[in-house]
Amino acid sequence: MEIVFIQLAMILFMAFIVSFIVRAFNQPIVIGYIFAGMIAAIMIEAGSFDFGNSTEIIGLFSEFGIAFLLFMVGLHLNPKVIKEIGTSALLIGLGQIILTFLLTFVVSVKILNFDLITSFYIGIALAFSSTIIIMKLISDQRQLDSLYGKISIGILIIQDLVAIIVLMLISSLSNGVNITSFAIRGLLGGAGLVFLLFLIGFFILPKSMKIIAKSQELLFLFSICWCFIIGALFSLMGFSLEIGALIAGVILSISPYSIEISSKIRPLRDFFLIIFFIILGINIHISNISVILVNAVILSVITLLFKPLIIMLFMRAFNYTKRTNFLVGTTLAQISEFSLIILALGVSIGHIQSEILSTLTLTLVITTIISTYMIIYSEKFYSKVSDFIGILEKKSVKQKIKVTKNYDAILFGYNRIGFGILQSLKRIKKRYLVVDFNPDVITDLKRFNIPGIYGDAYDQEFLEELPLDKIKIAISTIPSFEINLLLIKNIRLINPESIIIVRAHQIKDALELYQAGASYVLTPHFLGGEYIAKMIQEDKMDKETYKNEKDKHIKDLIKIMQRGKDHPAVEQG
């Protein structure tokens, strides 16, 4: 046991050093874990490192990592959230999965010369995108509330649900069950068990957990216990432990304590996942890297180019702007941890060779590295290519805008913040126009006789069609810093006397927007939209009042920044 401990310590230290370097390049730390495993593999082949008796224990740790990952995924798959997925995200998600699978399947059979079962696994692997990486990056970019962020999350949820079905299918076939038997047992046994667990989740767990949650230690212990018991139960039913862990998480997602449970389980999950990804890196056969690399590059091209293109074309059919289509497509241009879990299961039951898992692990590394920079610099990337991607937008979307009335106010972005602001504009009897680039929002506005037009505020030509020179106030609840900066510059150029209210998430962005000419910058994590709504209602169009509020706000933001903080959320108690 002492030897195992020492070997594990060496591996973790190596993972820390590599991950530290990887993080300096703005890459997800998971890439560091895989690179650490690849370095360990080189050392093993050179004879300078040997797992020895550690292999079985470390392999067991990696399986725990998979189970805890799926448990955490389940905790975020609340059925109530699933109901809120829009029709467009549902159809785009399903369409993308099917077309990406078919394209990859054909390439695997015809070009890479893999057999049908292997091609099936590869097709499934490339169909899914990384929930963990995407959620982390768009959260860091403060784009969770943006239109492309919401659509991306909706598509990811659809992918996760399909992945659950695939995992159930593969885990059943691993026990020698044919498709017919799986359908019968899956519908009768699996569905019956899931239904029973949901009944427990709705009617028994809420009362029990009220008592359990009084003790943080008991809540933590219960969560782990629930994960293991349900996993064991599914294993006895002929499914995999991993599926049981995922369903256990979904059941607990109904609980009001799901967020607290998630925060407590996360460190445990992260530790075991480190081992899982290190093992994946070790299993990349360095001696066959030339063969693996060629296949990985071909699959990476499909993931980075053709998969986003499929998503963009589906979104085009739903009348989204080319900018939204581009941002969603590039955001989903990588493969998922789910993909590696499915492939690892395929290797364990003998469906595919370990070399395939190595190839797809390398594909994950390549696509994650490139797509990370694509997401971080998506706005700059879009501005470079926007003139060449007109095919991603229907001509009807770009139709000439006819604004026949003069408006006192234009509201860019109709969301939760925008709703409250709109009510204030109504109360002070100002003529207003809503601009939004979500076609579903414009349809809803028309239903309630609210004047609104569909358009992208990042489009210079679109802005030139708006009566910006005549408005008294412009309000943007759009979270994008680049869009708000563009709005300020355009409005100030032709209407220097107007009041301009925009939104920012970081203090440095807010100060830069003030410097560009904003009358007031809304910082939702510091001062909510209700404050702006109240200002509009009470102060109406009094520019002097806005100037005083602006000066006061700048002083407050500078004070916070001087404390070494750059995000207003840290000030909340």
SS3 420: helix
Q: What is the pLDDT of residue 107?
A: 95
Q: What is the pLDDT of residue 297?
A: 93
User: Which pLDDT tens digits describe the chain residue by residue (573 residues)?
Assistant: 677 777 778 888 888 999 899 888 878 888 888 888 888 877 876 666 666 556 667 777 777 777 887 788 778 776 666 666 677 888 999 999 999 999 999 999 999 999 999 999 999 999 999 887 887 788 777 676 677 888 888 898 888 888 878 877 777 665 555 555 555 555 566 667 777 877 887 788 878 888 888 888 888 898 889 888 988 888 787 666 777 888 888 888 878 788 788 888 888 877 877 887 887 787 776 666 777 889 999 999 999 999 999 999 999 888 888 888 899 999 999 998 888 888 988 888 888 988 898 899 889 889 988 998 888 888 888 888 887 887 877 776 655 455 556 788 888 988 766 666 777 777 767 788 888 877 778 878 888 888 888 888 887 778 888 888 888 889 898 888 888 998 999 999 898 889 898 888 888 888 899 999 999 888 765 555 556 666 676 666 667 777 887 888 888 788 777 766 555 443 332
The two beta strands, 520-522 and 499-503, are: parallel
How far are the Cα atoms of 22, 31, 414 from residue 15, in angstroms, in the given order? 10, 10, 45
> pTM value?
0.72
Cβ neighbour number for residue 493 with a 10 Å cutoff = 11
Homologous superfamily (CATH) for 400-571 = NAD(P)-binding Rossmann-like Domain (3.40.50.720)
User: What sign does the dihedral 150-360-94-201 (CA atoms) show?
Assistant: negative
Cβ neighbour number for residue 396 with a 10 Å cutoff = 7
Q: What is the pLDDT of residue 94?
A: 93
Q: What is the pLDDT of residue 572?
A: 34
The pLDDT tens digits for 339-392 are 888 898 888 888 898 889 889 988 988 998 899 888 888 888 888 888 788 787
DSSP H/E element including 147: helix 147-173
CB 167 within 8 A of CB 244: no
Measured at the CA of 555, the angle between CA 550 and CA 558, to 5 degrees, comes to: 120
Q: What is the pLDDT of residue 570?
A: 38
CB 417 within 8 A of CB 440: no
> For residue 332, what is the DSSP state?
T
2-388 and 400-571, same CATH topology: no
Q: What is the pLDDT of residue 569?
A: 42
CB 368 within 8 A of CB 30: yes
How far is Cα 64 from Cα 231, in angstroms, rounded to an integer? 11
How far is Cα 88 from Cα 535, in angstroms, rounded to an integer? 36
The CATH T-level fold of domain 2-388 is: Na+/H+ antiporter like fold (1.20.1530)
Chain-centroid distance of CA 268 in Å reads 22
φ, ψ for residue 51 (rounded to 5)? -70, -40
CB 336 within 8 A of CB 166: no
DSSP H/E element including 87: helix 87-110
Q: What is the pLDDT of residue 305?
A: 93
Task: Report CA dihedral (543, 547, 553, 555) to the nearest 10 degrees.
Answer: 180
- Kindly list the domain boundaries of the chain, sorted by start residue: 2-388, 400-571
SS3 for 192-206 is HHHHHHHHHHHHCHH
Q: What is the pLDDT of residue 98?
A: 95
